[in-house]
Structure 1
């Protein structure tokens, strides 16, 4: 009787709040919205320059926004949701691409790089606390949205196309001006969003969840 009295409150009351804190409805909604946003940014299509097999798209801009606003794990989850839907055959990538074939093509490394790239952006922004400055936001977008994505994308492009690593890196350098512009724009958009809506700051959102969980 005494053992049951001790066990039931622990299992009944302890597991539920933990689950609620881990997957709150609001977080699932935000993840879905940003997965959709990245997909929508593919609607304008693709642009291939200098014969590069990897197209230029606006979707990296969405990855940067997701990382800076959602934070580490929610941004990674948003990108993962998109990539799973793409793998299932939905034409959600720029140019109406979809299916498992895109993960064996020249741009496969860049696509896979979106996930750790978004997580890296979120992690850097989270380290900025309740008021991450514009410089931190820009550094996060550059490190995650360009550095991490290129780090995975260039070697895979070289392997798939048969180019040397140096030549693949040179071809990918044609993306840099556009990606730098995306990083600056994403930083400005996120900074304005966070000023108008403090819950868009990952650290603030995390604090509110922790406070709600303690009540």
Structure 2
């Protein structure tokens, strides 16, 4: 890896950590708050690509696992990986790689001059569909609730995450012009 790559990975890890410093917004009686960290996870996949973005997220997860309170609400430690929110954490580890992979597949099969559409689709499929699938399954198993109850509990977050995905793609496109 080049110094530029290491710097980008470190900066993205730092951004994800900083986004965790913003307090989560609790909703009703759901144990999962609205957070900004998933915005950083999306950006890592969009800006850095699959490999570097995944490395940034994995470094972040290792720091959390070691006990650093970098998750929203100043949480950290191995216990968060068995909490009701752990499904999100597991999905986040694969998000950058999946965003990059799906984006490449869409671009391969659809000749598109504008990158916004394919990038938005890959971000939505990964950051909303895939992440919520894992989060709902985990919440259902961990909290001993039905899949439908876990789905309805998570459905409140989907509109905000769709908005975060749109903003992440728009921001990444502007930043990519500056980076390159």
Q: TM-score of the superposition, structure 1-length normalised?
A: 0.77
Q: Which residue number corresponds to residue 86 of structure 1?
A: 64
Alignment CA distance shift 1:92-1:183 (3 Å): same
Q: Which residue number corresponds to residue 133 of structure 2?
A: 151
Deviation at 1:50, TM superposition (A): 2.3
Secondary structure at 1:64 match in 2: helix
Note if 1:98 corresponds to 2:76.
Answer: yes
Alignment CA distance shift 1:30-1:132 (3 Å): farther
Deviations 1:49-79 (A, max 9, x none): 1211112100000011110011111111111
Q: TM-score of the superposition, structure 2-length normalised?
A: 0.91
Note if 1:168 corresponds to 2:146.
Answer: no
Distance 2:132 2:159 in 1: 14
Deviation at 1:192, TM superposition (A): 1.2
Q: In structure 2, list runs of 5 or more residues that go unmatched.
A: none
Q: Is the 8 A contact 1:71 1:126 kept in 2?
A: no
Query: More deviation in 87-96 or 50-59?
Result: 50-59
After superposition, residues 190-209 of structure 1 pair within 5 angstroms as 190-198=172-180
- Report how many aligned residue pairs link the two structures: 175
Deviation at 1:182, TM superposition (A): 0.1
Note if 1:66 corresponds to 2:44.
Answer: yes
Distance 1:132 1:27 in 2: 26
Q: Which residue number corresponds to residue 96 of structure 2?
A: 118
Note if 1:35 corresponds to 2:5.
Answer: no
Secondary structure at 2:15 match in 1: helix
Q: Is the 8 A contact 1:125 1:132 kept in 2?
A: no
Note if 1:51 corresponds to 2:29.
Answer: yes
* Higher Cα Rg, which structure: 1
Distance 1:57 1:97 in 2: 13
After superposition, residues 135-146 of structure 1 pair within 5 angstroms as 135-146=117-128
Q: In structure 1, list runs of 5 or more residues that go unmatched.
A: 1-22, 199-215
Q: Which residue number corresponds to residue 4 of structure 1?
A: none
Deviations 1:154-180 (A, max 9, x none): 111111111101110110001111101
Distance 2:130 2:70 in 1: 22
Deviation at 1:132, TM superposition (A): 5.9
Note if 1:186 corresponds to 2:164.
Answer: no
Q: Is the 8 A contact 1:71 1:119 kept in 2?
A: yes
Alignment CA distance shift 1:163-1:174 (3 Å): same
